[in-house]
């Protein structure tokens, strides 16, 4: 579906509405990108809403032909869609759309796009940085140096061997981020394995990885990084049994969703000193202040910072604006979210 509108004609520019938090809008749209947005569409005043249930908000929704969404977007239901009779497209300047769009949007034929590919870039970079640091056992050396105040000494004998040359990195899920991580790892002397039931060996080989079964991957990987989607069948994908398969001194990195890992089983293994974990996502998120995870030795918690932040979000805005430009010109956007893939995507 396309809008067949001429962006150069002010009168024919489609009516759009921004649905996102104030912070998200400020991060995404600097002066240059806000100007481009306003050349493509007509925006109401106020242009941004984060509520769609008041009478005023519903009036704005009823007039919108395009919704530009992002982090902080309210959940849009079939009831909201019934109000938005003029709506033709939802352009999401973020990653997953499953959390804020009901299936009714696809059923009615609304074009939905996502900047998930753009957001995969910083997540992959964050993952790569942690893989390299953990491979060097950086955290253990930092702590040992802090405690003993000497470069050499017997304390170094207790740090596990580094794994930056010839080590094995296992990637769970050859998603956009998983693929990007695999591609980035080709620059290093590491063996890369992939476990994903939805790809074949040829696809894995194309990004420099070898496809294997999940249990086999876990049994031999020095570092495991999780990039699978959050689905009923992936809940606690890494359970106590699978966490038990990991080699001595292995590392788990999770930038996907917290529910993919049984946190209690992970913490129990980390407390033995035989496993480390870097968790950028948790279940629940945020963690309660008294969560025991904060104090588990060997667990590094980061506050969901892997995805685009601050100027990095401009990459997402550019992706959304490019798709918006295609829509306005009557062309198919590049990053259309196919309803058929929703069941296996994040």
Cα–Cα distance for residue pair 148/282, rounded to 1 Å: 32
Tell me the backbone φ, ψ of residue 303, rounded to 5 degrees.
Answer: -85, 65
Beta strands in the chain (DSSP E): 16-19, 48-49, 66-69, 89-92, 111-114, 167-172, 190-195, 210-211, 223-226, 250-254, 275-279, 299-301
Instruction: State how far the alpha carbon of 303 is from the alpha carbons of 255, 300, 313, in Å.
Output: 11, 10, 17
Contacts for 229-233 with beta carbons within 8 Å, 24 or more apart? 229/173, 229/175, 229/256, 229/257, 229/344, 229/345, 229/346, 230/256, 230/257, 230/259, 230/260, 230/346, 231/343, 231/344
Give yes or no for residue 2 having a pLDDT over 60.
no
Coil, helix or strand at residue 286? coil
Q: Which part of the chain has CATH 3.40.50.720?
A: 10-114+310-344, 120-301
Q: Which CATH number fits domain 10-114+310-344: 3.40.50.720, 3.40.50.970, 2.60.40.790, 2.40.10.10?
A: 3.40.50.720
The arrangement of strands across the sheet holding 16-19 comes to 48-49, 16-19, 66-69, 89-92, 111-114
pLDDT digits (tens, 9 = 90+) for 206-256: 999 999 999 999 999 999 999 999 999 999 999 999 999 999 999 999 999
Is 120-301 CATH 3.40.50.720? yes
Mean pLDDT of 22-47: 96
- Terminal-to-terminal C-alpha distance of the chain: 24
Say what the pLDDT of residue 346 is: 64
Three-class SS of 52-73: CCCHHHHHHHHHCCEEEECCCC
Cα–Cα distance for residue pair 155/165, rounded to 1 Å: 23
pLDDT digits (tens, 9 = 90+) for 80-129: 999 999 999 999 999 989 889 999 999 999 999 999 999 999 999 999 99
Rg of the Cα atoms in the chain: 23
Say what the pLDDT of residue 5 is: 44
To the question of pTM greater than 0.75 for the whole model, the response is yes
Longest Cα separation, the chain: 76
Instruction: Report percent pLDDT > 70 for the chain.
Output: 97
């Amino acid at each position: 579906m396309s809008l067949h509108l001429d962006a150069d004609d002010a009168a024919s520019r489609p009516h759009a509405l921004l649905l996102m938090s104030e912070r998200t809008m400020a991060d995404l749209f600097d002066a240059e990108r806000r100007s481009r947005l306003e050349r493509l569409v007509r925006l109401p005043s106020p242009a941004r809403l984060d509520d769609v249930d008041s009478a005023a908000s519903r009036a704005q929704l009823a007039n919108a032909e395009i919704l530009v969404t992002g982090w902080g977007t309210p959940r849009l239901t079939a009831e909201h869609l019934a109000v938005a009779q003029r709506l033709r497209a939802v352009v999401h300047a973020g990653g997953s759309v499953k959390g804020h769009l009901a299936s009714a949007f696809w059923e009615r034929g609304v074009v939905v796009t996502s900047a998930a590919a753009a957001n995969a870039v910083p997540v992959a970079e964050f993952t790569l940085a942690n893989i390299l640091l953990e491979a060097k056992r950086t955290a253990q050396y930092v702590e040992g140096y802090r405690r003993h105040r000497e470069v050499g000494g017997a304390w170094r004998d207790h740090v596990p061997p580094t794994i930056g040359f010839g080590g094995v990195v296992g990637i769970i899920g050859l998603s956009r981020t998983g693929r990007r991580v695999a591609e980035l790892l080709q620059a290093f002397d590491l063996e890369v394995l992939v476990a994903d039931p939805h790809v074949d060996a040829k696809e894995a080989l194309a990004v420099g990885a070898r496809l294997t079964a999940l249990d086999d991957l876990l049994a031999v990987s020095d570092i495991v990084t999780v990039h699978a989607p959050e689905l009923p069948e992936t809940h606690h994908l890494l359970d106590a049994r699978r966490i038990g398969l990991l080699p001595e001194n292995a590392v788990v990195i999770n930038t996907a969703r917290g529910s993919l890992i049984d946190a209690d089983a992970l913490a129990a293994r980390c407390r033995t000193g035989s496993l480390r974990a870097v968790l950028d996502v948790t279940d629940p998120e945020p963690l309660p202040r008294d969560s025991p995870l904060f104090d588990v030795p060997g667990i590094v918690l980061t506050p969901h910072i892997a995805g685009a932040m601050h100027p990095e979000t401009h990459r997402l805005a550019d992706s959304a604006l490019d798709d918006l430009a295609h829509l306005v010109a009557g062309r198919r956007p590049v990053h259309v979210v196919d309803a058929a893939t929703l069941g296996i995507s994040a």
